[in-house]
Amino acid sequence: MYDKSKTIATTQLHQHLQSCANYLKAKADKPKYGLLQTQLAFGSSSVDPTACPHLYVGKFDMEKMKESVAHWIMMHEHPIFSIVEEDGFNLIQRRGMPKWRGMTKNTIKTYYSNVYESEKKKLKSLLKNLNNINLTTDCWKSKNQKIEYMAITGQWIDESWQLQKRVFNFVHIPPPRRGLEIANAIWCYLEDWGIESKIHTILWIMLLPMMRLLII
């Protein structure tokens, strides 16, 4: 490494590079190890991927990328899967990953479902080690579609004494939304998660259906 003091001009640094063994070796190994980035290059703003500079190093796995995209859609609650077919989305991917291949909305739907099932198995495994789980449930009707929904959320204290919360289910409840139907739905979902014997309390946001549920 060449150390420059405050009294040395940059011209001397440039001259040093012309004879620096490490620099010359790295420069000769460019085809082997890839381009050494010494300056930023910006390609055309066109959506043509061949006009975009590629910033890619390492092994590329398209299957892992599809799983990551499914996670991304789930994390940020994107309302439509067709976002993966947009030109801008694919342009960004190809700039950093030359081997990127586009995908259809139907393809990402499949990966989305696979990610959901995988995360559900992880959560089920976690719930097996718990003794007490508190539930919060809420029902409401969408103004535009006139469809009734119910959300079931679980809370518990982990072994580190930290409050944890997970949404177990977000489902459509067909009318009439009565206490009996709600109670049966909740019980089915609790059995599915394997926690029907671990419920400590249930907090209901809407009082009237809760009164019927308590009677049941």
CA atoms of 130 and 155, how far apart (whole Å): 11
Is position 44 within any domain?
A: no
**Mean pLDDT on 85-108:** 90
Same domain as 111, residue 77: yes
Same domain as 59, residue 28: no
Q: Which amino acid is at 201?
A: T
Same domain as 150, residue 79: no
Strands 148-157, 163-172: pairing is antiparallel
Higher per-residue pLDDT: 179 or 170: 170
Supply the pLDDT for residue 91. 92
Domain of residue 18: give its range. Answer: 1-39
pLDDT, one tens digit per residue, over 174-216 is 777 777 778 888 899 999 999 999 999 888 766 545 545 544 4
Supply the pLDDT for residue 164. 94
Supply the pLDDT for residue 40. 42
Supply the pLDDT for residue 190. 93
Tokens of 127: 């719930």
pLDDT, one tens digit per residue, over 10-39 is 677 677 777 777 777 777 765 554 444 444
Same domain as 207, residue 139: yes
Same domain as 29, residue 88: no
Supply the pLDDT for residue 5. 60
Give helix 105-127 / helix 62-76 axis angle, nearest 10°.
70
Last residue of a domain, one of 102, 121, 140: 121
Same domain as 191, residue 149: yes
Task: Enumerate residues 6+ apart whose C-beta is below 8 A from 33.
Answer: 26
Higher per-residue pLDDT: 3 or 54: 3
Q: What is the dihedral of CA 31, 34, 38, 44, to 10 degrees?
A: 100
What is the number of structural domains in the chain?
A: 3
CA atoms of 95 and 35, how far apart (whole Å): 15
Q: What is the dihedral of CA 188, 189, 193, 195, to 10 degrees?
A: -70
Is position 74 within any domain?
A: yes
157: pLDDT strictly greater than 90: yes
pLDDT, one tens digit per residue, over 101-151 is 889 999 999 999 998 899 999 999 999 999 999 999 888 777 777 788 889
pLDDT, one tens digit per residue, over 41-85 is 444 444 454 444 454 456 888 888 999 899 898 888 887 889 999
- pLDDT band for position 98 (cuts 50, 70, 90): confident
Last residue of a domain, one of 121, 147, 163: 121
Q: pTM for the complete prediction?
A: 0.58
